[in-house]
Structure 1
């Protein structure tokens, strides 16, 4: 199931840049674009997209005003775009998935799209909450001349290590030659979440979440490990934990 996307920006070149980058990503479908806040408000209400790239400062309604004016049930997941860095508080209050400074580089945009795909099963309205593709059940790890299969169900967290990633499973660590971004796309977002640009955690391993003053958070896992969760991942993580708790209640 594709994530339906709209782009809201008064600069045609900025809209084009996002469109060109979306072309290279599977699982996303552009359904509309708007050049001002007033038409964006009407268009989002009519199209009911899943995800909106929204420029913060535009003629008429600002991007913040557009999102704030929408009822929560009609408000899409949002990735805010701006040339300034003083809108982080408003972005957090709107539960925006990410807050990207222009010009946006490819890596940061990819991270934001990853978060959208992770959050989509919980945010889609009136649709079946299922991953776009079947998640993997095990990872193949080379150990000398042997190949070891590590079940995904045993993996507790995954940490980036350059072009490699380290799997933590049942007290052991396994090095796989795959970037964290690629691994995130292979995992079930209802079970695993990226909490930092360098860390993926299995949701049921989180024992405690403690908010920090800069809107990051500290996560204590059931094995005693303490990790830092970046504020840009917190809205999607909080929603995933909420749904996990409802399911287990």
Structure 2
């Protein structure tokens, strides 16, 4: 998990210190460093970092001027870093997660950095859960474009997946993962229905949780006790279920190593 981070401070040495401290944690990635309100607005609207370390008083305005002009749909986590202690109450009115008063100890900064990580992690977990919830609400039979593709919807866009590119399907409750070479997609379909859809294609169900593409199997090894280990073309290894041994023998078109 990378956390995009921006620094807004008109004192170069103050900004340099924050940068040095924050980069001690490889999770943080600095995407912008500016010294004023106008440049901050341009950078934040374009980069949309997760976390912003923000000074309050700058030559051309204040940190509050920046926050009051951000788009309503963009809510970064704000950490105020300032030499002024009389703005703390107002800072938290802008949903700041912390207020660091200069000068500060390194340990104080690291505690705030950990807090920022927790906030970002919670937000991302919430978004993932919402995406899964939305998928579960989709129809049980997502539309397919033709006999050679699966069509799914991701973030409002139609994605077309060619069957030959699929390495295997992995069950996850009432939906499954479609594993390709370098990524996967979530597909709203049960394994039982999927197995029926794939019955005329070069796929074989080897486990309650796995359906593999015969064309994308590198090797199969018999482990004994009616179990087989399948090595797939993306180097993934999966072990078959014992109840599927007979079907595997009948459909496997390659030599099985024993």
Give the TM-score normalised by structure 2.
Answer: 0.47
Larger Rg: 2
Relative to the length of structure 1, the TM-score reads: 0.49
Higher relative CO (CA 8 A, sep ≥ 6), structure 1 or 2? 1
